Amino acid sequence: MFKDIFGNNPQTKILDFLLDHPDYDYNISDIAQNSKVSRPTTYKVVDTLLEKKLIIKTRESGQSSLYKLNLENKLVRMILKFDYEIASKVAEIEAEDTVKKYKPVLTSSKARTLPA
């Protein structure tokens, strides 16, 4: 949802992936693969996000560092809230559109006479 609003650049793609999974940590390969960003670009973006304190390094696993959203960062919390509110509103609008689309079918006399 986040990248649909803020664009399809590497930083937004990576943030969008991490916003969808805020409680988990990932290595560079997982972040790159799931956000569809090249590994070299992912390294650069992760460095930038670390500098801005939007993500944190959580631990080492073998030779890999793992990263996740910095849930202590006020901006990250605001972004999560915004992302949630937008997703909720989009779901609400889509539900209303679905009801409008199928209401004539559901209220027609044929629909009421069908066996259960």
Give per-residue pLDDT as tens, 62-83: 999 999 999 999 999 999 999 8
Residue range of the domain that includes 49: 2-113
Mean pLDDT of 21-29: 96
Paired with 56 in beta bridges are 68
What is the value of pTM for the model shown?
0.75
Q: In this model, does residue 19 exceed pLDDT 90?
A: yes
In total, how many domains does the chain have? Answer: 1
- HEC string of 23-73 equals CCCEEHHHHHHHHCCCHHHHHHHHHHHHHCCCEEEEEEECCEEEEEECCCC
Distances (CA, A) of 25 to 2, 19, 20, 55, 67: 19, 11, 12, 10, 5
* Segment holding 11, helix H or strand E: helix 10-20
Give per-residue pLDDT as tens, 76-103: 999 999 988 988 888 888 888 777 777 7
Q: What is the CATH number of the domain that holds 40?
A: 1.10.10.10
Q: In this model, does residue 60 exceed pLDDT 60?
A: yes
Please tell me the predicted confidence (pLDDT) of residue 16. Answer: 92
